[in-house]
């Protein structure tokens, strides 16, 4: 529990993959929220997507950095990092709560749906084996 974790950092690989996959959502979410709430809806959706992607990347960076120091530190960083990231999301929403250029409903729905949607979508690509920690190997080049 005291020593560092050696080896690759699958959490960073997974977070980057989730960020890359979120790019597929951008046009669909912006069009849907724009159609429902107009330009403020599209702005709220874009802001929400940025919050979600930054949250995933911060989480992976926190785990990767602390795992190289010690497992105990990593466990504490995961626990308190979750609370800090929730606070950062709260602060990000609080900063724009009175803004007229974005729709809060679109922002809130985007944050909730995108967090859950990306997590469930990524389940299809994550390997649950010790042979391939992180993402499943691609089938390219296999017959």
pLDDT tens-digit readout, 57-82 = 999 999 989 888 888 898 999 999 99
Q: What is the DSSP letter of 8?
A: -
By the 8 A CB rule, do 36 and 106 touch?
Answer: yes
Residue 138 lies in a domain: no
The domain total for the chain is 1
List CB contacts of 34: < 8 A, sequence separation 6 or more: 41, 42, 45
Residue 47 lies in a domain: yes
Percent of the chain surpassing pLDDT 90? 54
Which of 19-33, 109-123, 125-139 is predicted with the least confidence, judged by mean pLDDT?
Answer: 125-139
- What's the mean pLDDT when you consider all of the chain? 86
State the pLDDT at residue 142: 44
Residue 5 lies in a domain: no
Which structural domain, as residue segments, surrounds residue 58?
10-126
Residue 132 lies in a domain: no
């Amino acid at each position: 529990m005291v020593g560092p974790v050696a080896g690759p950092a699958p959490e960073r690989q997974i977070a980057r993959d989730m960020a890359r996959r979120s790019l597929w959502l951008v046009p669909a979410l912006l069009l849907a929220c724009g159609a429902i709430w107009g330009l403020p809806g599209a702005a709220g959706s874009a802001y929400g997507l940025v919050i979600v992607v930054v949250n995933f990347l911060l989480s992976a960076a926190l785990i990767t950095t602390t795992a190289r120091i010690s497992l105990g530190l990593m466990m504490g960083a995961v626990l308190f990092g979750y609370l800090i990231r929730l606070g950062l999301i709260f602060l990000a929403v609080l900063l724009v709560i009175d803004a007229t250029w974005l729709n809060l409903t679109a922002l809130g729905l985007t944050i909730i749906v995108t967090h859950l949607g990306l997590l469930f979508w990524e389940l299809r690509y994550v390997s649950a084996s010790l042979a391939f920690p992180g993402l499943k190997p691609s089938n390219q080049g296999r017959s």
